[in-house]
Amino acid sequence: MHLEKRRRHRTHARPRPPATAFDPAGPLTWTIPDGRSFTLDFSRPLVMGVLNVTPDSFSDGGRWLDPESAVAHAKRLAAEGADVIDIGAETTRPGSEPTSEEEEWRRLLPVLEALRRLPGCPPVSIDTYRFPTAVRSVVAGAAMLNDIYAGRKDKRIFRVAADAGVPIVLMHMLGEPRTMQVEPRYEDVVTEVREFLWERALDAERHGIPRSRIILDPGLGFGKTADHNLTLLQRLPEVFPPGYRAMMALSRKAFLGHVLGGAPPEERDLATAVASAVSVMKGARLVRVHNVKATVEALKVAEAVMRGRLAPAP
C-alpha cells in the first residue's frame, strides 16, 4: 500500500504530435507584465544559476539568506555567465519540512525588488510550487517559474504562467521532499519519468501555456537512487518527450558524491560541470548549477566538440 501511494503519479501518456509547431532548440522570447522583454537562445547551452535564500539548503544553506549578500551573489552569477537566476526560498533537500508561505515570501521579496532595479539583470526564475507566491513573484518582476511538483500541488500555478506569459519548468519528483528518498522504486525509471513529464506538459498546455514556454526537468535526486540518476543520465535522449525544451538540474547532487567516493557537496563542482556537459551532449539545453563559472567553461568545450570546430570570432 505504501509503495502504491507513492506511485500514483504514474501515467500512460501515448506519443502525440506537437500541439504547437516550434523548434525546441530555437530562441525563446517573451515579455513580462512590467514591460521588460527577455530572450533565451536555446540553440546554445544555457546556464541557470542557483541562488538559495534559505538557512538550510543542502549545499549552501545560510550563505545568501541576507538580502544584501543574496543580491551580491546574483550579480556574481550574472558576471560569470548565468543566463537565468533561479531563486529558491524553501529548501527541498531530502527529508526537509515545508517552509510557511509567509516566510517564503519574506525571503523572496527584497531580493526580487533589488534585482528588478538592476540594469542588465538576466531573467529571474522563482523556484516555488505555491500559487500565491507565484502571483506575487510575477507582479514583483519574476520572469520565470520553476515548480518541483509540476503543477500537482496546485494547478493554479499554470494559470499564473499562462496569464503572465512567462516560461515554466516542470520537474519529475516521486512523492515529496520529506519522503522522496525513502526506498524509491520504479519498474522502468526512464519510461516512468518520460510518461510523467509528458502528462504534466500536456496538462500545462491544456491550461493555456504554449509548448514553447514549457521546460521539462527529470528531477535527478528527487525520489531516485544513485543508479536511477545514472540510468537517466545515460539514457537521456529517451527521457524527454519530443518537442519540448529540456533542462537538467544535477548540481552537487548526492549521486555525484557517491561516484566520487563520498565527496561532500562543496567538493562536487567539477563533477557537476562534467555531468552538465554530458547532459548537453545528450540533448539538454539548459543546466541548473551553483558554480556557474566552472559549468560555463565546461559547456563551451562541449559545444565546440558537438560543433566540431571553434565558434566564429564575434
Active site residues: 253, 288
Report phi then psi at 49, rounded to 5: -90, 135
Give the separation between CA 27 and CA 38, rounded to whole angstroms.
Answer: 10
Question: What cell does 117 get?
Answer: 532595479
Name the packing angle between helices 67-79 and 101-116 (round to 10°): 50
Cα distances (Å, whole numbers) of residue 299 to 275, 278, 280, 287: 10, 9, 8, 10
Q: Which residues contact 183 (CB under 8 A, 6 or more apart)?
A: 3
Largest CA distance in the chain: 60
Which has the closest alpha carbon to 226: 268, 257, 195, 204?
257
Amino acid, single-letter form, for residue 109:
L
Which has the closest alpha carbon to 244: 269, 219, 218?
218
Question: What cell does 100 get?
Answer: 510557511
Give the separation between CA 290 and CA 303, rounded to whole angstroms.
Answer: 20
Give the separation between CA 142 and CA 126, rounded to whole angstroms.
Answer: 7
Torsion from C-alpha of 53, 55, 61, 65, nearest 10 degrees: 40
Torsion from C-alpha of 149, 154, 155, 160, nearest 10 degrees: -100
Q: Is the dihedral of CA 264, 184, 235, 145 positive or negative?
A: negative
